[in-house]
Structure 1
Amino acid sequence: MEIIKEQKSCGICDEEKEKGIYLYNLFICCECEHKMIHTEPTEEQYKYYLQKLKHINQPTLYS
């Protein structure tokens, strides 16, 4: 997991943030990462995160 230090648009909150991680090709800011980790599956916000994470495109692995 790599910490990025430049302005990128978060794939969850759509805000420009400086710090965050990439999950494949989706940038997730530190704040959203923290919220996602601490959200229980029974909470309404959990469904929102699942919908946002569906936009991840796993890179093709060439052999």
Structure 2
Amino acid sequence: MAVNLQEDCTCIICGLKKEEGIHIVSEFICDTCESEMVRTDVKDEKYPFFIHQMKRIWYKKNA
């Protein structure tokens, strides 16, 4: 479910400022990255990148 925000947020995955996406904990993931992540197979070469970027959410939360 996408959230239409009043301001641009920076996506923790792609680093771009976007208006629509989701918030997980205190971080933002844009609609484009969210869609790509859910379609990415675990055998895809981009899968480890997504995992690495998602781990940043928990590291920032616990910092």
Aligning the two structures, in what range does the TM-score lie when normalised by the shorter sequence? 0.7 to 0.9
Count matched residues. Answer: 60
Gaps of 5+ in 2: none
The letter of the residue matching 1:15 is: L
Normalised by the length of structure 1, the TM-score is: 0.83
Report which of the two structures shows the higher radius of gyration computed on alpha carbons. 1
Gaps of 5+ in 1: none
Residue 2 to residue 59, structure 1, CA distance change in 2 (3 Å): farther
Normalised by the length of structure 2, the TM-score is: 0.83
- The equivalent of 1:32 in structure 2 is 33
Report the RMSD for the aligned CA atoms in angstroms: 2.1
1:23-55 deviation line (CA, Å, top 9, x unaligned): 112200000000000000000110000000001
Which one has the bigger helix percentage?
2
